[in-house]
Amino acid sequence: MGLFAPPPPPPPPPPTLGKHFGFLTADESNVCAGAAAVVIIGLLMASPKARRGLFTHEDSKQIHKLLGFGCLLSYAYRFAKVGERDMGFSASSGTLASIALHMTLSGSSMIFNIPRKRTLTHYRIWPEYRLHSIVFAFRSLLTMLLFWVEALMGIEEPVYPLNTLLVLLCFGASDYASYSVGDAHSKSIRDLDVPPPVQFAFSWIQFHGTYNCILAVRRYSTFFIYVWIVQFNAFVMTVQRKNIFASGPLLCVYGFMLLFGYCVVTYEMVRAGGWTLWAAANAIANAAAILRMSGSWLGGKKYLMWGLIGVFTHFMRGSFFGDDSPHTNTWRGLCALSYCFIGSLAYKKISSKYYAKAEKGGWSGHEAAGEAAKEAAKPAQDELPPLTPRQSEVETKVKAA
């Protein structure tokens, strides 16, 4: 070749999951996802039982239903763009409109009247859970909004402390929601009518969701998948309340959603920081689960525990990224150790009948705690105030009778 010969053309980029969805191109996958959403809507509308259950006088203008159909199409469109394209999100007006759409759907659920107390034998929505679903959907949507603002304003260094603050504020909102329902409060997982291993797994994975909101890898899809889990599960519980489907299959759907969400988050973590990031995130999330579920002193101080985890993450974040990091083996070892402790804790809780149910169907620990509180509130016999002369006279006449 001559001295000034042009360089050879670069090799074509390898195909990625974001550019192809199975054997379909990106555009074809978008069309198929949209068609799938239309088919699901059509199947619901074709069932007279579903129409009677889902179309009620409380939503006479069908606002919530139209928002729900819009969100279903939104999920189909975004899931078709999973991968490198980050579900098609960016610092665009379309992303802002998508966030606003899903926020509005959650808020509009308050127009419906539902039974005040939870039905423990069925997988049905109740007021406290509805409030919690709004809070935790907003937690992920506000995180996405933070990403959008950072990108729009050209902020290169993410404002990570705001993510920890958002998590703590949402905990406060959810605790106030539980307080607001009074004696209709119910433990979302511990009162659930499922086998103990499933209860433990459902509880454990919640800690990963919370910690991922603190870690906050700057990928929209990581949090949009949480929005999907929260909103679709609320819909699933509503479907059961209308007796359209039985509880068992719907609980399986919820379990699948949690597993699918974990897989999507794992993919995004490995893509962003390699397996070191995944190992660090799992080690810290498992540590939070162990502290909280074991009944430790720090685990009992929820806000303090998550606040400290947020501070720790802020200062140690640099050690999470890159499989060539000098901290890689440390985090992998801690991750493996944390899963050993999680397995041991699961065995201890399940074998000790921790998740046993009381006669009324609720968690026995919850009812025992309630009875203990009532008993503690009663004054001891020797602490009762002395009787007045009039009370003594009445008591004497009663005993004589």
Q: Is residue 204 part of a domain?
A: yes
Long-range contacts of the stretch 335-342 (C-beta < 8 A, 24+)? 335/278, 335/279, 335/280, 335/282, 335/283, 335/286, 337/283, 338/282, 338/283, 338/286, 338/287, 338/290, 339/282, 339/286, 341/286, 341/290, 342/204, 342/286, 342/289, 342/290
Total-model pTM: 0.79
pLDDT at 259 (0 to 100): 93
Q: Per the structure, how many domains does the chain have?
A: 2
pLDDT digits 0-9 by tens, 88-127 = 999 999 999 999 999 999 999 888 888 888 888 888 888 9
User: Based on the domain organization, do 271 and 319 belong to the same domain?
Assistant: yes
- For residues 171 and 306, the answer to whether their CB atoms sit within 8 Å is yes
User: Based on the domain organization, do 188 and 201 belong to the same domain?
Assistant: yes
Rounded Cα–Cα distance for residues 95 and 68 (Å) = 17
Q: Is residue 360 part of a domain?
A: no
pLDDT at 362 (0 to 100): 57
User: Based on the domain organization, do 54 and 170 belong to the same domain?
Assistant: no
User: Based on the domain organization, do 90 and 176 belong to the same domain?
Assistant: no
User: Based on the domain organization, do 104 and 121 belong to the same domain?
Assistant: no
| SS3 assignment, position 21 | strand
Boundary of a domain, candidates 80, 113, 146? 113
User: Based on the domain organization, do 280 and 350 belong to the same domain?
Assistant: yes
Phi, psi (rounded to 5 degrees) for 14 = -70, 150
Domain that holds residue 26: 16-113
User: Based on the domain organization, do 186 and 88 belong to the same domain?
Assistant: no
pLDDT at 392 (0 to 100): 62
* Residue from 306, 298, 8 nearest 165 by CA: 306
User: Based on the domain organization, do 87 and 103 belong to the same domain?
Assistant: yes
pLDDT digits 0-9 by tens, 332-390 = 999 999 999 999 999 999 998 887 766 555 555 555 444 433 443 344 444 444 555 65
The pair of three-digit structure tokens given for residue 94, joined into one six-digit string: 């379309």
User: Based on the domain organization, do 52 and 131 belong to the same domain?
Assistant: no
Rounded Cα–Cα distance for residues 359 and 128 (Å) = 22
User: Based on the domain organization, do 243 and 138 belong to the same domain?
Assistant: yes
pLDDT at 296 (0 to 100): 94
User: Based on the domain organization, do 108 and 122 belong to the same domain?
Assistant: no
Q: Is residue 361 part of a domain?
A: no
pLDDT at 54 (0 to 100): 58
Long-range contacts of the stretch 78-82 (C-beta < 8 A, 24+)? 78/221, 78/224, 79/33, 80/21, 80/26, 80/29, 80/30, 80/32, 80/33, 80/34, 81/18, 81/26, 81/30, 82/17, 82/18, 82/21, 82/221, 82/264
In 257-390 the beta strands, taken as DSSP E runs, fall at none
- Return the sign of the alpha-carbon dihedral for residues 210, 216, 222, 224: positive
Q: In the chain, what are the helix, strand and coil shares in percent, each to the nearest 5? A: 70, 0, 30
Average pLDDT along the chain, 401 residues, taken 10 residues at a time: 46 43 47 53 54 58 85 90 88 95 93 85 88 96 96 92 96 95 87 89 95 95 95 87 80 92 92 93 97 94 97 94 89 97 95 72 52 41 50 58 53
User: Based on the domain organization, do 126 and 105 belong to the same domain?
Assistant: no
Boundary of a domain, candidates 70, 92, 113? 113
Q: Is residue 209 part of a domain?
A: yes
